[in-house]
Chain A
Amino acid sequence: MLEFLNPPMHFPRMSSEHMDVRYVANLARIDLSNEECETFQGQLDAILGYIETLTDVDVDGIEPTAHASPVFDRLREDESRPGLGQADLLRNAPESALGQVRVPKVVDA
């Protein structure tokens, strides 16, 4: 798993070089069949090629827009309020036990 913490260095520029679809799918935690991987490779290369048109735009000194709302960092009083109960939250869980969601063992003893 450590290799994901240290991704290979890339130059910070747009690039028409191939995206390594299987590598990125792994970052996104999606398994892909060989066939799907190959199909996506061609399609994503075409999309990335098109996206290159953004390099034509002069963005010097332009502030980025994260969203189009005039509201930022809205806070509320830090007080408890009613929410969904344990039973409601667990009713869609694929596996649960002892009032908790159950998953395969994550940490070795």
Chain B
Amino acid sequence: MSLSTQSISSLRQQLTSGDIQPSDILDSLAESITSQNDSIGAYLSHDLDAAKQEANQADLSQPLGGIPIAIKDNINVKDQPCTCGSKFLDGAYQSPYDATVISKLRAAGAIPFGRANMDEFAMGSTTENSALGSTCNPNDITRAPGGSSGGSAAAVASQTAIAALGSDTGGSIRQPASHCGVVGLKPSYGRVSRYGLVAFASSLDQIGPLTQNVEDAALILNAISGYDSSDSTSLAQDVPDFTQGLDQGVAGMKLGLPKEYFGEGIDPSVREQVDQAIAGLESAGAEMVEISLPHTEYAVATYYIIAPAEASSNLSRFDGVRYGNRVDQPDDILDLYRRSREQGFGPEVKRRIILGTYVLSSGYYDAYYNRAQKVRTLIRQDFQNAYQNVDAILSPVTPSAAPLLGSDRDNPLQQYLADIYTLSANLAGICGISVPCGKVTSESGSQLPVGLQILGPHMGEQKLLQIARAAEIQAGN
């Protein structure tokens, strides 16, 4: 069996026994990238020589010793490009430092390898907003891989990565994981340092793993979690061993089914797969409880005020002064800003910056931003109330399976509405995971993966992963 198709734990056994070397895994990955990346487009770039040099130094006694991990192209890795899928940074930026998650991965023996494609500055849900290349869904190349971490998900699904890091601001790990048929974990707000992640919406962003299975997600979470003095939002809590108790099952647990997540709008074939996954967990001994998250219908509107507002502020750093694109022959400093940004940003990024600037502008702040922050409180309270009675919440990840490439391109509002099941977790700061639970047949006959979303309370990753592992077993994986 090719090394590029194997899980972290399987490769680790062969590495520690001396049957294989880290460079063997890199060679295997490089071979699959060469044969597949032209058609799938998961990677924007990769540097085999640099990775091999690092592989020679890798400490195989560490938990991820010798394991290459693909990195979403908005996470800084020293001396590598970090384009964020944007023309603004393409060919114009090399990271001068490692993000904290990269330092931590290296300390655990892992090797960052390859830059995964993404929607520009993580704004989008199909990876089609990347200005630098298109990525297809490995299950059906006429379809989108999801986004914004579409390259990370497609790399793992096409077996051109053992595992990957992504970032999730409103579903950008869980949704592409669902569409590509891999596991995607968004940790709780504060679990993982974002130092070195290019900021999109700072009160919502989290970094997390996309992996072949739940155990691998736990292994990576072990490595990247914990307090970091460089990110004041990271929490000083002990990091448990998330692989412990994975196989303890769900017997006796209470799992909530929010009625608002199973109403109109969900594709019946997707619903069928999710229902089967729920039935599986029930047969494994969990008790299902209908719950209500009454402010769900306001999540999309709340998110699309708060996220663009924060983005408009965060992306002001891309002004053509210190790094990235600078227009030739500017008339003056304002002309430099305006035209460097016009040239460097794609339409979705401009749209969101303009929307964010508007909702924060004088006279509109209270009506939009302040009101959205109050509704955010209500959304958060919905979850806090729910977790009084249930251990976790089950739902679909998306209303339908992977969309065809090119659909809804000119209708951003339509795309935003499809984020309904994933956005609330970011607004509430809780953790969530997407686990493959089945496949649906498309009009053209292709088999499209469907994910089950499990949402746990803030800092509740241990039990979340345990439930996810049980769902994985029920789905036969």
Contacts and interface: CB of A to CB of B under 8 A. Distances in A.
A57 B381 CA distance: 14
Contacts of A39: 347, 410
B358 A19 contact: yes
Contact of B377 (A47, A65, A106): A65
A36 interface: yes
A92 B92 contact: yes
Contact of A95 (B326, B331, B377): B326
Interface string A7-51: 101111111000101001111111110001001100110111011
A51 B304 contact: yes
Contact of B367 (A12, A46, A56, A88): A12
A43 B408 CA distance: 12
A32 B346 CA distance: 11
Contact of A43 (B319, B374, B413): B413
A64 interface: yes
| Residue of B202, B341, B371 with highest tally of chain A CB at under 10 A | B371
Contacts of A63: 374, 377
Contacts of B316: 28-29
B304 A54 contact: no
B128 to A, nearest CB: 16
B92 A57 contact: no
B373 A40 contact: no
Interface in A74-109: 74, 76, 84, 88-89, 91-95, 101, 103-106
Interface residues on B, range: 35 or more
Q: Is the interface of B mostly helix, strand, loop or mixed?
A: helix
A79 to B, nearest CB: 12
B108 to A, nearest CB: 23
Interface in B302-360: 302, 304-305, 312, 316, 319-326, 330-339, 341-342, 345, 347, 350-351, 353-355, 357-358
B337 A47 contact: no
> A11, A40, A52: which has the most chain B beta carbons within 10 Å?
A40
A43 B295 contact: no
Contact of A24 (B97, B305, B361, B411): B361
Interface residues of A, number: 62
B301 A53 contact: yes
Contact of A67 (B233, B235, B320, B351): B233
B203 A84 contact: no
Contacts of A68: 189, 203, 380, 427-430, 458
A40 B297 contact: no
A1 interface: yes
Given A57-B378, A91-B96, A104-B336, 6 more contacts: A24-B358, A43-B412, A51-B305, A94-B321, A94-B323, A106-B333
Interface of B: 92-94, 96-97, 189-190, 202-203, 229, 232-233, 235, 295, 297-298, 300-302, 304-305, 312, 316, 319-326, 330-339, 341-342, 345, 347, 350-351, 353-355, 357-358, 361-368, 370-378, 380, 410-413, 416, 427-430, 458
11 contacts: A14-B367, A30-B338, A47-B304, A47-B412, A50-B301, A52-B301, A54-B305, A57-B295, A63-B374, A63-B377, A104-B331
